Amino acid sequence: MERIIPMASTLRPSLSSSLRFSSTTRLGLSHPSRNPCRRFSFLHLGTASPPTQHFDVKVLKSLRKGSNMAVAAAGNIAQASTSPAQDDLLEWVKKDNRRMLHVVYRVGDLDKTIKFYTECLGMKLLRKRDIPEERYTNAFLGYGPEDSHFVIELTYNYGVDRYDIGSGFGHFGIAVEDVAKTAELIKAKGGKVTREPGPVKGGSTVIAFIEDPDGYKFELLERGPTPEPLCQVMLRVGDLDRSIAFYEKAFGMELLRKRDNPEYKYTIAMMGYGPEDKSAVLELTYNYGVAEYEKGNAYAQIAIGTDDVYKTAEAVRLGGGKITREPGPLPGINTKITTCLDPDGWKTVFVDNIDFLKELE
């Protein structure tokens, strides 16, 4: 959806949102004490010449009491009018038509990576676009068409053959019917298996780990037939409860399950827009006592579809996220997007659903 280059943002100057709130209050309401008419009336009454000083004190006390009551009443009205609006926005988020569209990351040799994903992982090359004037190329790969499947968007920046994956990114998940057989096939084609097939620590699901040419890890999970084989993106976070609350409130995701593994000192939470066996999910991992991770410059972002990028941006703000690109159309293709960061700094791009389908056409 946008150019990805190492170590720097390529997003163009932010566009102001038509729904952006005033800096004075959430809904742009002015504070009563800043009303010039109200200030004038207070000054006018205060300059009246009282017969005695005793009378002046009583008048001032009365005026102050009335002023405080007026301010409190106005504050209550503002609060009452703000809360329903926020509730409506958060309710809209839950009903919004959202789906994880693709995950974006950088690679050093595009042709080599495409060959590995198609021959070893069984993906299909869905489309490829070269932007020579911007010096980068994208390739989209997956197990089904982009309008109905979660896919991978690879980015190759001319002349850059190596990236730092960092310690925060975990892995991608692929569901297969036979992990052992898949691992052997990958080995036969020259792939690297970093964890032999076997039950997951603290569970019974058979898994294996492999590594692609750039060092990205893929977890193979043994499952029955599924409409969404590319099924997980795992990211590490410093405060799991904080992240769960954010993704529920700001992204409208559902906490599908949570599992604590005290023996191995980690906890995971599966977040998504549908069941794990039928849709792609976000796996958040908290390692006991670890609050921060190095992001590196290899992994970029997840893209999520939405019916309204403007409302989405306000919901992200309300949920405590940071908008890094104001909602609006991308120059040249007019696809409306907004980008944001979660509490740990992980980036997400929200894309207008209708514009996304138009772009595919």
Q: Specify the length of the chain in residues.
A: 361
Cα separation values, 87 from 73, 129, 251, Å: 22, 42, 14
Q: What is the average pLDDT value for the chain, to the nearest integer?
A: 83
User: In angstroms, rounded to a whole number, what is the distance separating the alpha carbons of residues 176 and 153?
Assistant: 21
Distance CA 180, CA 88 (A): 49
Round to whole Å and give the CA distance between 189 and 213. 13
Residue 74 has pLDDT above 90, yes or no: no
Identify which has the larger pLDDT, 50 or 252: 252
* pLDDT score, position 33: 36
pLDDT at residue 92 greater than cutoff 50: yes
- Measured distance CA(313)–CA(250) in Å, rounded: 9
pLDDT of amino acid 31: 37
- Rounded average pLDDT over 335-359: 97
Alpha carbon distance, N-terminus to C-terminus of the chain? 14
- Is the confidence at residue 233, as pLDDT, over 70? yes
248 catalytic residue (yes or no): no
Q: Given this model, what pLDDT does residue 319 score?
A: 94
**In this model, does residue 361 exceed pLDDT 80?**
yes
The single-letter code of the amino acid at 173 is G
Q: Where are the alpha helices (DSSP H) in the chain?
A: 36-46, 53-95, 110-119, 179-188, 240-249, 309-318, 353-360
CB distance 250 to 237 below 8 Å: no
Question: What pLDDT is stored for residue 201 in this prediction?
Answer: 83
Residue 40: predicted pLDDT: 28
Average pLDDT rounded to a whole number, residues 111-130: 96
Regarding beta strands 136-142 and 192-199, do their DSSP bridges make them parallel or antiparallel, or are they unpaired? unpaired
Contacts of 12 (CB under 8 A, 6+ apart): 331
For residue 89, give both structure tokens: 């926005």
Report how far residue 179's alpha carbon sits from residue 198's, in angstroms, rounded to the nearest whole number. 9
Query: CB of 354 within 8 A of CB of 338?
Result: no
Name the residue among 323, 325, 317, 318 with its Cα closest to residue 341: 323
C-beta of residue 260 within 8 angstroms of C-beta of residue 240: no
pLDDT value of residue 105: 98
Strand partners for 156: 137
Instruction: Identify the DSSP state of 5.
Output: B
Q: At what angle do helices 53-95 and 309-318 cross, to 10 degrees?
A: 120
21 has pLDDT over 60:
no
**pLDDT for res 316:** 97
- For 155-176, the DSSP string reads EEETT------TTTEEEEEEEE
**pTM of structure:** 0.78
pLDDT level of residue 30 (50, 70, 90 thresholds): very low
DSSP 17: P
For the stretch 37-73, pLDDT in tens is 333 222 232 333 333 333 344 433 444 444 444 434 4
Active-site residue, selected from the candidate residues 153, 219, 222, 314: 219
pLDDT at 185: 94
pLDDT digits (tens, 9 = 90+) for 267-322: 999 999 999 999 999 999 999 999 999 999 999 999 999 999 999 999 999 999 99
Distance between CA atoms of 298 and 3, rounded to whole angstroms?
A: 13
Residue 13 has pLDDT above 90, yes or no: no
pLDDT value at residue 62: 46
Q: Residue 42: what pLDDT?
A: 26
- Beta-bridge partners for 127: 140
Q: What percent of the chain has pLDDT over 90?
A: 73
pLDDT-derived band at 332 (thresholds 50, 70, 90) equals confident
